[in-house]
């Protein structure tokens, strides 16, 4: 039996943000996701009971991200190579870690909703890059 799983990523930082997704081993750029402040991006997946849970690896399609806030003002970088034990996965607020306490899971009976919200603290804790966040 398949069940729909919706993944929602919200931006409540007070700044626009771009999420740059890449594969850490090959350094291959995967995609860029833009989220204006106060907005959310969503994707729906179908999960089989026998599969591993649908989560960030499915949404992002990469194991590393850089989050650029505003107009190249600040940057956060997270990595979590799936199926490899790593301290980088355990950093609090790491969106790539499905076990992070900021991931919320709701069961609506016929579907699941996984949600993660970027907060003002994420912007405040990001590294200043003064226009050169690449």
Q: Residues 51-88: pLDDT tens digits? A: 778 888 889 998 889 899 988 788 888 887 655 555 66
pLDDT at 88: 62
In a domain, 8, yes or no: yes
How are beta strands 112-118 and 2-11 bridged, if at all? parallel
In a domain, 124, yes or no: yes
In a domain, 133, yes or no: no
In a domain, 134, yes or no: no
Residue 23 near residue 64, CB atoms below 8 Å: yes
Distance CA(76)–CA(84), nearest Å, equals: 21
Q: What is the mean pLDDT of each run of 10 residues along the chain (134 residues)?
A: 92 95 87 97 88 85 89 83 61 82 90 94 88 73
Distance CA(82)–CA(38), nearest Å, equals: 29
DSSP H or E run through 34: strand 28-35
The model's pTM is 0.87
Domain count, the chain: 1
Supply the range of the domain harboring residue 79. 2-128
Q: C-alpha 20: how far from its chain's center? A: 10
């Amino acid at each position: 039996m398949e069940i729909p799983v919706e993944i929602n990523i919200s931006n409540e930082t007070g700044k626009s943000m771009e999420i740059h997704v890449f594969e850490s081993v090959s350094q291959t750029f995967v995609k860029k996701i833009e989220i204006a402040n106060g907005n959310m991006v969503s994707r729906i997946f179908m999960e089989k009971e026998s599969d591993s849970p649908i989560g960030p690896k499915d949404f992002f399609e990469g194991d590393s991200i850089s989050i650029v806030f505003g107009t190249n003002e600040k940057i956060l970088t997270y990595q979590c190579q799936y199926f490899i034990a790593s301290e980088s996965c355990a950093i609090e607020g790491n969106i790539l870690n499905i076990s992070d306490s900021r991931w919320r899971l709701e069961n609506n009976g016929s579907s699941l909703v996984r949600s993660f919200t970027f907060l003002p603290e994420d912007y405040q804790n990001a590294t200043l890059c003064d226009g050169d966040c690449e």
